[in-house]
């Protein structure tokens, strides 16, 4: 069997596939039995990730409201997965696709496995809520009450709230020949009613639908003692008033439900007048997506369930029942509304950046050294400050910025708007950032109105790289470029709880190539060589495969060979196959993959030297780090790309080297060793795709939580000596380090 290396290049980012025949790989495949498949299932791997998040909700060691937040996150994760991935599988089946996936399953087989897993997961979610969190919340005086539990004062308050705030927003509908079934919006919470006209007691039963207003909180805060927090579900309050809305009808039964629709975004670019207009139209069309899931209360009347299922054209296994709030992602409300700091993680203040005494501003500093920031342990303020200084400094003559996702009140937009009045300001905004398209369209239009040159990148490719470039005429008369390159979005809000890395630099090679990347984004002007940057879809896949093969050659020559790669997901077969070969050649490989990974670690004759760990904790692990021992001359790269087909071939991504000796040492001696030593929040992937807590597998290892350590390090409470030796990896500190070279 040949090994398929896929690299993208040429006009339009088209993929060029070259089939490399490797005798070693052919032998390996011949020795691999059917039971030893090369890849685990993608969908099963993703569900395993969401189960790891659910474990945090179940973990009594976490503060109670943090556990509620984790459960809410699992609901939000599952929503997005169902409306994109499960919907995509249904669409493939309807379109007649029969090609097997990474695990050898055809789309219909994958869908069956995934649906069963989701049912199991939903049951686990509600067990966590009903049997663990609700009792603990009640012990703390935080109660979600049923109507029958309310006292006279609480009922009067709720009824007054209904008349004043809720009733004016409601539109009750009964389904009959004159009133067809309403268009239920994607993920909108509704009440379904089984009705019978009072004057016709033996007449037919009809269905009624009331949409719960999205403008209101799903939980109504009730009057209670100062040390208590009492709530009522909004749909329960509406249910108590159904009789007044349906006068002339007898309400036989009612149930809260929610429909999830296909949110895949498809369009024909050649037929579009403009990309912006296309996305705007598709946002409207998305509301017309086919239903893929019906969520409904466990005790719902069978007639209601059946009528809804038929109306939405769903099979029985697409109906998901829950004993509790229908939309678990809304539980995030409690985290923000309940003012109990003792039930949350202790507050953490990121470390501020201090410039050298000789530097009057960040530009002075960057001419002397690079600045590496590890968020949220390091404050995000220097990144915002870098962009704001660019807008305000008269010596800065040009600003260029990419944007994928950001906050609603982003200082980036304010800075670019200010800059447009006095200098060249360019923004490359991604309109197709899933679920953020509408806000990005608004920002793009407002930026254009302010005089910013707005571009939407290369047609057919998402612009996912994180780049900001300032061109400045310095005091010595030299015009220089200054750049920020990062692993995360330009979002000061998420920077407080996403782990990401930022590099601020004036390195002439790096900044010149960043300039070339902007030319590619705005004019589709390609160059043959972006080194020292790895740029997708042009050079990144080929470069990563080359770096992995180089480690293999070092191992075969008896030189130090070790790969440590941290990312969100691992899905690209050609990269996984290269890692398998490197493992067989003697390369030690440690992968830190937060989400899905279809690689099978620790399989004899296949991946014995590969270890995969996932860390799920207080902060969302979002940084991408790629370390190559390189025979003793370590190279480290950071970037926005995971090892996934979409990142390597369908997006504009940038991975960049860390060259500054101090920055290199920080990643090599502090950040990666901390992650590899984690035994508290780390889970170790098994060959079958399951994950086990590191503390259960590595029973003799000391308990060590990487995120806790990095917070304490930022606060000056510990030093690097607190990191225990990595148990499941070669000790990185024993490797001699040299300044990194450019990637070949």
pLDDT beyond 80 at 459:
no
Whether residue 489 lies inside any domain: the answer is yes
For residue 656, give the H/E element and its range.
strand 651-657
DSSP 566: E
pLDDT tens digits for range 273-309: 355 555 555 544 444 478 999 999 999 999 999 999 9
Q: What is the pLDDT of residue 282?
A: 53
Residues 464 and 428 in one domain: yes
pLDDT beyond 70 at 5:
no
Q: What is the 3-state secondary structure (H, E, C) of 463-484?
A: ECCEEEEEEEECCCCCEEEEEE
Q: Is 8 helix (H, G, I), strand (E, B) or coil?
A: strand
Assess contact for 254 and 235: CB atoms under 8 A. Answer: no
Whether residue 107 lies inside any domain: the answer is no
Least confident of 408-422, 519-533, 640-654: 408-422
Residues 283 and 383 in one domain: no
Q: What is the pLDDT of residue 274?
A: 52
CATH of residue 291? 3.30.1840.10
Residues 332 and 395 in one domain: no
The closest of 9, 6, 5, 3 to 537, measured between CA atoms, is: 9
Q: What is the pLDDT of residue 268?
A: 37
Residues 299 and 412 in one domain: no
CATH of residue 479? 3.30.870.10
Band of the pLDDT at 230, cuts 50, 70, 90?
very high
Whether residue 69 lies inside any domain: the answer is no
Identify the bridge partners of residue 253 per DSSP, sorted by sequence position. Answer: 194
State residue 411 phi and psi, 5-degree precision. Answer: -70, -15
Q: What is the pLDDT of residue 287?
A: 40
Q: What angle do CA 113, 118, 124 make, to 5 degrees?
A: 130
**What is the rounded average pLDDT of the residues 213-233?**
93
pLDDT beyond 60 at 444:
yes
Per residue in 366-404, is it b (16+ CB within 10 Å) or e — as a string?
A: beebbbbbbbbbbbbbbbbbbbbbbbebebbebbbbbbb
pLDDT beyond 50 at 407:
yes
Band of the pLDDT at 28, cuts 50, 70, 90?
very low
Query: Given the structure tokens 């998420």, which residue do they identify?
Result: 494
Q: Quick one: what percent of the chain has pLDDT higher than 90?
A: 68
pLDDT beyond 90 at 86:
no
Q: Are strands 682-685 and 691-693 parallel, antiparallel or unpaired?
A: antiparallel
pLDDT beyond 50 at 270:
no
Residues 457 and 317 in one domain: no
The closest of 205, 209, 177, 206 to 192, measured between CA atoms, is: 209
Residues 329 and 378 in one domain: no
Whole-angstrom Cα distance, residue 43 to residue 121?
Answer: 13
Last residue of a domain, one of 501, 523, 545: 523
Task: Give the count of domains, the chain.
Answer: 3
Catalytic positions are 464
**What is the rounded average pLDDT of the residues 233-249?**
93
Query: Given the structure tokens 């994928």, which residue do they identify?
Result: 404
The closest of 612, 705, 618, 438 to 73, measured between CA atoms, is: 618
Which of residues 54 and 457 earns the better pLDDT score?
Answer: 54
State residue 721 phi and psi, 5-degree precision. Answer: -65, -15
Whole-angstrom Cα distance, residue 430 to residue 690?
Answer: 35
The closest of 384, 397, 388, 385 to 417, measured between CA atoms, is: 388
pLDDT beyond 70 at 17:
no
Least confident of 12-16, 47-51, 247-251, 361-365: 12-16
What separation in angstroms does the CA of 34 have from each of 29, 30, 31, 39, 103? 10, 10, 10, 11, 11
Assess contact for 254 and 193: CB atoms under 8 A. Answer: yes
Residues 614 and 502 in one domain: no
**What is the rounded average pLDDT of the residues 594-618?**
95
**What is the rounded average pLDDT of the residues 106-124?**
91
Whether residue 90 lies inside any domain: the answer is no
Whole-angstrom Cα distance, residue 436 to residue 80?
Answer: 13
Q: Is 371 helix (H, G, I), strand (E, B) or coil?
A: strand
DSSP H stretches of helix in 266-325: 275-286, 302-311
Q: Round the average pLDDT of the chain to a whole number and report it.
A: 86
Residues 630 and 518 in one domain: no
Whether residue 61 lies inside any domain: the answer is no
pLDDT tens digits for range 188-202: 999 999 999 887 766
The closest of 622, 283, 651 to 435, measured between CA atoms, is: 283
Q: What is the pLDDT of residue 286?
A: 45
Q: What is the pLDDT of residue 692?
A: 95
Q: Is 331 helix (H, G, I), strand (E, B) or coil?
A: helix
Of 221-230, 266-275, 470-479, 728-737, the range with the highest mean pLDDT is: 470-479
Residues 11 and 159 in one domain: no
Query: Given the structure tokens 């069956």, which residue do they identify?
Result: 112
For residue 155, give the H/E element and its range.
helix 152-161
Residues 378 and 261 in one domain: no
The closest of 724, 627, 636, 640 to 682, measured between CA atoms, is: 724
Whole-angstrom Cα distance, residue 460 to residue 269?
Answer: 8
Whether residue 620 lies inside any domain: the answer is yes
Domain span at residue 395 reads 362-523
Whether residue 43 lies inside any domain: the answer is no
Which of residues 441 and 438 earns the better pLDDT score?
Answer: 441
Whole-angstrom Cα distance, residue 63 to residue 1?
Answer: 51
Last residue of a domain, one of 523, 544, 559: 523
**What is the rounded average pLDDT of the residues 213-237?**
93
Helices 87-94 + 107-127 axis angle, to 10: 160
Q: What is the pLDDT of residue 264?
A: 62
Residues 299 and 245 in one domain: yes
DSSP 25-67: HHHHHHH--TTS-SB--HHHHHHHHHHHHHHHHH-TTS-HHHH
Whole-angstrom Cα distance, residue 442 to residue 428?
Answer: 14
Whether residue 219 lies inside any domain: the answer is yes
Residues 513 and 585 in one domain: no
Band of the pLDDT at 418, cuts 50, 70, 90?
confident
Band of the pLDDT at 25, cuts 50, 70, 90?
very low
Last residue of a domain, one of 316, 343, 370: 343
**What is the rounded average pLDDT of the residues 149-155?**
95
Q: What is the pLDDT of residue 105?
A: 81
Band of the pLDDT at 443, cuts 50, 70, 90?
low
Whole-angstrom Cα Rg for the chain = 28
């Amino acid at each position: 069997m040949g090994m398929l290396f896929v690299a993208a290049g040429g006009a339009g980012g088209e993929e060029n596939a070259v089939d490399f025949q490797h005798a070693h790989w052919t032998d390996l495949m011949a020795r691999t039995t059917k039971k030893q498949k090369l890849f685990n299932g993608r969908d099963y791997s993703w569900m395993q990730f969401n189960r790891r998040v659910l474990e945090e909700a179940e973990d009594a060691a976490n503060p109670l409201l943090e556990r509620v937040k984790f459960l809410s996150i699992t609901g939000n994760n599952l929503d997005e997965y169902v409306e994109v991935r499960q919907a995509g599988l249904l669409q493939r089946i309807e379109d007649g696709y029969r090609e097997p996936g990474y695990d050898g399953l055809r789309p219909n087989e994958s869908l069956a496995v995934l649906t069963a897993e989701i049912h199991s997961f939903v049951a686990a979610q509600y067990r966590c809520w009903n049997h663990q969190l609700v009792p603990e919340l009640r012990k703390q005086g935080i109660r979600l009450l049923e109507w029958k539990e309310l006292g006279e004062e609480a009922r009067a308050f709720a009824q007054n709230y209904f008349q004043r705030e809720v009733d004016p927003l409601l539109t009750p509908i009964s389904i009959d020949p004159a009133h067809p079934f309403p268009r239920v919006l994607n993920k909108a919470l509704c009440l379904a009613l089984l009705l019978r006209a009072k004057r016709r007691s033996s007449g037919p039963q009809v269905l009624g639908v009331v949409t719960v207003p999205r403008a209101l909180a799903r939980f109504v805060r009730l009057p209670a003692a100062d040390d208590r927090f009492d709530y009522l579900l909004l749909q329960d309050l509406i249910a108590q008033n159904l009789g007044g809305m349906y006068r002339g009808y007898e309400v036989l039964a009612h149930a809260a439900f929610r429909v999830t629709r296909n949110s895949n975004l498809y369009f024909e670019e050649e037929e579009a007048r403009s990309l912006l207009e296309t996305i705007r139209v598709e946002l409207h069309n998305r509301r017309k997506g086919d239903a893929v899931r019906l969520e409904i209360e466990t005790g719902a009347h069978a007639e209601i369930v059946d009528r809804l299922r038929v109306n939405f054209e769903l099979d029985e296994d697409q109906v998901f029942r829950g004993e509790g709030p229908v939309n678990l992602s809304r539980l995030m409300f409690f985290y923000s509304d309940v003012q109990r700091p003792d039930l949350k993680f202790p507050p953490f203040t990121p470390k501020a950046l201090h410039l050298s005494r000789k530097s009057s501003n960040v530009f002075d500093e960057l001419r002397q050294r690079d600045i590496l920031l590890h968020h949220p342990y390091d404050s995000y303020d220097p990144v915002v400050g870098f962009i704001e200084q660019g807008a305000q400094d008269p010596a800065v003559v040009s600003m260029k910025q990419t944007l994928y996702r950001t906050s609603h009140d982003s200082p980036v937009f304010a800075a670019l708007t200010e800059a447009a009045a006095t200098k060249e300001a360019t923004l490359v905004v991604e309109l197709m950032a899933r679920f953020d398209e509408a806000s990005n369209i608004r920002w793009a239009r407002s930026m254009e109105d302010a005089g910013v040159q707005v571009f939407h990148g290369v047609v057919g490719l998402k612009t996912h790289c994180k780049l900001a470039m300032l061109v400045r005429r310095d005091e010595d008369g030299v015009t220089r470029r200054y750049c920020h390159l990062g692993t995360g979005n330009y979002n000061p809000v998420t920077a407080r709880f996403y782990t990401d890395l930022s590099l601020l630099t004036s390195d002439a090679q790096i900044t010149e190539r960043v300039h070339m990347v902007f030319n590619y984004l705005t004019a589709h002007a390609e160059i043959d060589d972006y080194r020292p940057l790895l740029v997708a879809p042009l050079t990144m896949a080929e470069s990563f495969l080359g770096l992995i093969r180089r480690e293999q050659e070092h191992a075969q020559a008896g030189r130090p060979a070790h790969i440590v790669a941290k990312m969100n997901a691992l899905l690209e077969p050609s990269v996984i196959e290269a890692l398998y070969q490197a493992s067989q050649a003697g390369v030690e490989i440690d992968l830190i993959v937060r989400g899905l990974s279809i690689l099978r670690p620790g399989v004899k004759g296949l991946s014995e030297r590969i270890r995969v760990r996932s860390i799920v904790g207080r902060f969302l692990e979002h940084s991408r780090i790629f370390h190559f021992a390189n025979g003793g001359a370590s190279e480290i790269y950071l970037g926005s790309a995971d090892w996934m087909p979409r990142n390597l071939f369908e997006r504009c991504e940038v991975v960049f080297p860390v060259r500054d000796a101090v920055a290199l040492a920080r990643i090599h001696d502090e950040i990666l060793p901390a992650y590899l030593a984690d035994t508290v929040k780390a889970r170790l992937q098994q060959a079958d795709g399951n994950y086990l807590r590191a503390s259960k597998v590595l029973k003799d290892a000391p308990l060590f939580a990487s995120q806790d350590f990095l917070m304490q390090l930022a606060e000056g409470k510990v030093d690097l000596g607190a990191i225990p030796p990595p148990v499941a990896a070669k000790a990185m500190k024993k490797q001699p380090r040299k300044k990194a070279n450019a990637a070949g």
